[in-house]
Amino acid sequence: MRIETTDLADVVLLVPQPFRDDRGLFTRTFDAEIFDAHLGRPGASAGFVQDSQSRSAQGVVRGMHGRSGRGEAKLVRCARGAVYDVLVDIRADSPTFGRKQGFRLDDTDFHHLYVPPGFLHGFQALSDLADVCYRIDRPHDPAEDIGVAYHDPDLAIVWPVPVTVVSSRDAAAGSWRELLRHVR
């Protein structure tokens, strides 16, 4: 596994190195020693306390979600199919505050993202079915949930395929301008 930097401060892309042969493939999707060394924090990977998985049909958008308070760090990967994954930096003191970046995560290349606390996160399923796995460093507290509507004009996220289904919660989420009042 190698680690690549991204255009967003502190976000990294983990790039496994699959071994393919006539049986199929084998890949190590995570290596704590490499991850901790890259972050410069021995034991950082041991802080993950919860694994979750979602399954979505093509066109479904989930997001844009975040956490208030201390936020949460997570590792995100697509175990089945493909998704377009989007991050928005909401850390007021960050050099990339307000910037967004999209990533293709799929079950071919096995790339996955380290998302530090202080980001909005969402994705759209690109394949017939997509399973997204999250490794999270804090138990979920619904009282800390924050969000911005997936179609907010100020975020101007261009979803790659037509949006088919969005939860009522995500459709009714607040605006980027409302969130700015709380994070600045």
pLDDT digits (tens, 9 = 90+) for 94-114: 999 999 999 999 999 999 999
CATH class of 2-183: mainly beta
Q: What percent of the chain is modeled with pLDDT above 70?
A: 99
Tens-place pLDDT, residues 169-181? 999 999 999 999 9
What's the pLDDT band for 19 if we cut at 50, 70, 90? confident
Catalytic residue among 84, 134, 150, 151: 134
Structure tokens at 53: 């998985």
Please list the residues that pair with 78 across neighbouring strands.
Answer: 132
pLDDT tens digits along 110-146: 999 999 999 999 999 999 999 999 999 998 899 999 9
pLDDT tens digits, 49-108? 888 999 999 999 999 999 998 899 999 999 999 999 999 999 999 999 999 999 999 999
* Catalytic residue status for 134: yes
Q: What is the structure's pLDDT at 43?
A: 84
Q: Which of 38, 65, 112, 140 is catalytic?
A: 65
Confirm if 173 and 149 have CB atoms less than 8 A apart.
yes
> For position 42, what pLDDT does the model report?
86
Would you tell me how many other CB atoms lie within 10 Å of the CB of residue 52?
Answer: 11
Cα dist from 108 to 17, 32, 82, 173, whole Å = 11, 22, 8, 32
Name which of 25-39, 121-135, 138-152, 156-170 the model is least confident about: 25-39
